[in-house]
Amino acid sequence: MIMNEPAIEVENFSFAFGSKRILDRVSLKVSVGDSLSIIGPNGAGKTTLIKCLNRILSGGQGSIKIKGKPLELYSQKELAMAVSYVPQADGRQLPFTVEEFVTMGRYPYLSPFSSVSRQDRGIVRRAMELTATDSFADRTLGSLSGGERQKVFIAAAVAQEADILLLDEPTTFLDYRHQVEIRRLIKDLNRHHNTTIMAVTHDINDAVVSGSRVLALKAGELLFDGSPQELIRQGLLENIYETSFFLIDHPRTGRPIITPEESEP
């Protein structure tokens, strides 16, 4: 693994919807092969940050570089070859079959009237195998469970063959088994395929367990960038979420488990 080669460099980046400032002078560096979690309360700007990195949202002040090249020098297709994205599970209705949907991940490599090549089909097939979605390749997305669907979305991102994968709350709304499976899948992509991972999460424990690094956003500002242990040691959680937490040590691993302190006994 090559370390320190930059995957994402954000410098003094601000973003606003109209007059409402969402991101406020955010700076961060992510190296190739890193895996990091973005935490923060609702409305902190986590999703916006991710969407700015692959230009789902365009505009903003400051600079963003992807793999050393300024974002504005990328065409949207070139950018899609470098960065892939898994959106929040928002219950959108998709009429396509799993295979049709995963094949759309090959879009940046296709020209307008050409058909999907055998090589593309092979890549789609491998992406479905890697995510264990090949067994239901012919089913439509609408007929899948939330967990299966999420794996299909990741499969499509894998088929895109980008080095950087952005995920927006990949395990929210999933049952425990699927949470574990998705986390394992993401870890596998990071460890064995050298994919740089940046995942928004609401589950701090998830961040502690899976993220080698945590970014904490609050009201558009980057409050913290470092290891989960450091985040807890500095006692920043209360500040970020404006609520109190208990810390319990995991009986086997010794890692802290974080749970909000309720006023009721």
Partner 1 sequence: MKKSWILLLLGLASAAVFLVAPMIGMKFLGLDAVFPHGPDTIDSHIFWKIRLPRVCTSFLAGAALAVGGSAFQAMFRNPLATPFTLGVASGASLGASLYVGLGFSFSFLGISGSSLSAFAGAVLAILVVYSFTRARRSFSTGSMLLAGVALSFFFSSLILLIQYMSDFTKTFHILRRLIGGIEAVGFDSVLSLFPFVASGAVIIFSLNRELNLLSTGEDLAASRGVNVVRTKQVIFLGASLMIGGVVSICGPIGFIGMMVPHICRLMIGPDNRYLTFASLMFGGGFLTLCDMLARTLFAPVELPVGVVTAILGGPFFFWLLLAGSSERTVF
Q: Which of 256, 85, 237, 56 is nearest to 169 (CA)?
A: 85
For partner 1, give the closer residue by CB, 51 or 213: 51
CA distances from 102 to 78, 126, 129, 221 (A): 19, 11, 12, 35
Long-range contacts of 251-258 (CB under 8 A, 24+ apart): 255/208, 255/209, 256/208, 256/229, 256/232, 257/205, 258/204, 258/205, 258/208, 258/232
Query: Could you tell me if 60 and 52 are in contact, meaning their C-beta atoms sit under 8 angstroms apart?
Result: yes
For partner 1, give the closer residue by CB, 40 or 105: 105
* Rounded CA separation 213/199 (Å): 11
For partner 1, give the closer residue by CB, 157 or 232: 157
Residues that bind partner 1 (CB under 8 A): 17, 51, 54-57, 75-81, 83-85, 87, 92-96, 100-101, 104-105, 107-108, 110, 112-113, 140, 142-143, 156, 160, 166
The distance from CA 73 to its chain's CA centroid, rounded to whole angstroms, is 23
For partner 1, give the closer residue by CB, 74 or 224: 74
In the complex, the smallest distance separating the C-beta of residue 254 from partner 1, rounded to whole angstroms, is: 38
CA atoms within 13 A on the CB side of 26: 35
Helix, strand or coil, per DSSP, at residue 6: strand
In the complex, the smallest distance separating the C-beta of residue 93 from partner 1, rounded to whole angstroms, is: 5
For partner 1, give the closer residue by CB, 149 or 232: 149
In the complex, the smallest distance separating the C-beta of residue 122 from partner 1, rounded to whole angstroms, is: 19
For partner 1, give the closer residue by CB, 39 or 50: 50
CA distances from 138 to 128, 135, 155 (A): 12, 8, 14
In the complex, the smallest distance separating the C-beta of residue 56 from partner 1, rounded to whole angstroms, is: 4
* Rounded CA separation 40/202 (Å): 7
In the complex, the smallest distance separating the C-beta of residue 49 from partner 1, rounded to whole angstroms, is: 14
Could you identify the residue written with the tokens 């090949």? 134
For partner 1, give the closer residue by CB, 113 or 176: 113
